Homo-oligomer: A and B are copies of this chain.
């Protein structure tokens, strides 16, 4: 049964690959319009999920993430409209050569094909992901969490009706109603029909998919980001950047989780940084050297290094050198975003070169790791793997390419 869903997605992908940019744009705009004009019914479906969540005793933060207000539904529709406004990622000539034998070789961007998504809670992901996949010419199989089941089913039905209305195959967007986990398991091994599987959610979900799936996977989402305050850092800049990277939004993957302070800078910089953080009710978990300078800091233990708090908590450690900071980051980081604050250009160059992460910063907040902030538009997440895409996964990263070769009878 799940395999048939895969086969239908494959067929829809073949047809989608032949649509024009204008057709895909129209379909996405229709999806946005139909979501908005079904706002009231969607809220009714959503209320069933909310009620079940309350009965199951889910915590308020989780229930809030599930909740769809009319404002949130409008934002979902506007997100789709913004996608429609981005440039076509397909049929771009990425490279072109004419060989001495006369062959003309062009490398053209094409859709990936069928993308599968396994995700949790927030029902707006259903519309966002469908829109991103469709804009890049891909069919999508969505496997949402059971807690958002009624909302997801309703959203998917609206999106599919809009696709049909736009004259495209509604199987370009399919939702797996998978109360057990056999659908998710099937996706992880569906080699014939799944070109890319993206897990979106907490670390537990992502780890499980990465360790079980044998189809190609894009690992996104885990952000254990560090900011290193070098010996020659401007203490005020360090305090501003660390405060911003922790406090502006603490539950996102580009928030800072650990600060590393050079011993020579600790006396002046650490009290300043700590005061600013403590003012915003941030809990600091520090090593002995941090505690000596910041009496309010709790004692950190080994479990604090490499920990993604996703809350108003930050780890702090005093290091003896740039090398020690780099080694700490390469050991405990998740390969997401890492920053150095320094006025020493040579130190910055070493840090930027030696730290192994998707995005490395000199004198800026890790919070900028975001497709929108890069000027790339909406994104599916931040890739922390090195294969295919690293950093923001936007429309371009949801494409592949093919070589098109034209000759006049050449043989080898």
Per-residue contact bits, chain A 195-208, to B (CB 8 Å; 1 contact, 0 not): 11000000000000
Q: Which residues of A from 387 to 412 have beta carbons under 8 Å from B? A: 387-388, 390-391, 400-412
Distance between Cα atoms of A361 and B352 in the complex (Å): 42
User: Which among A367, A401, A403 has the highest number of chain B CB atoms within 10 Å?
Assistant: A403
What size tier do the contact residues of chain A reach? 35 or more
Query: Within 8 Å of chain B (Cβ to Cβ): is A112?
Result: yes
Q: B residues within 8 A CB of A405?
A: 359-362, 364, 368
Whether A374 pairs with B240 at a CB distance below 8 angstroms is no
Minimum CB distance partner of A386 in chain B: B400
Whether A358 pairs with B402 at a CB distance below 8 angstroms is yes
Query: Within 8 Å of chain B (Cβ to Cβ): is A26?
Result: no
Q: B residues within 8 A CB of A245?
A: 411
Query: Within 8 Å of chain B (Cβ to Cβ): is A93?
Result: no
Q: Which residues of A from 12 to 67 have beta carbons under 8 Å from B? A: 14, 17-18
Distance between Cα atoms of A388 and B387 in the complex (Å): 6
Number of copies: 2
Minimum CB distance partner of A389 in chain B: B388
Query: Within 8 Å of chain B (Cβ to Cβ): is A76?
Result: no
Query: Within 8 Å of chain B (Cβ to Cβ): is A288?
Result: no
Query: Within 8 Å of chain B (Cβ to Cβ): is A385?
Result: yes
Whether A411 pairs with B359 at a CB distance below 8 angstroms is no
CB proximity of A101 to chain B, nearest CB, Å: 8
Please pick, from B218, B244, B362, B375, the residue contacting A411 in the complex, using a CB distance under 8 A.
B244
Whether A189 pairs with B211 at a CB distance below 8 angstroms is yes
Please pick, from B210, B241, B374, B386, the residue contacting A105 in the complex, using a CB distance under 8 A.
B374
**Closest 4 A/B residue pairs (Cβ):** A364-B407, A244-B411, A386-B400, A388-B388
Q: B-contacting residues of A (Cβ < 8 Å)? A: 14, 17-18, 97, 99, 103, 105, 112-113, 189, 191, 195-196, 210-214, 216-218, 234, 237, 240-241, 243-245, 248, 330, 348, 352-354, 356-365, 367-369, 373-375, 385-388, 390-391, 400-412
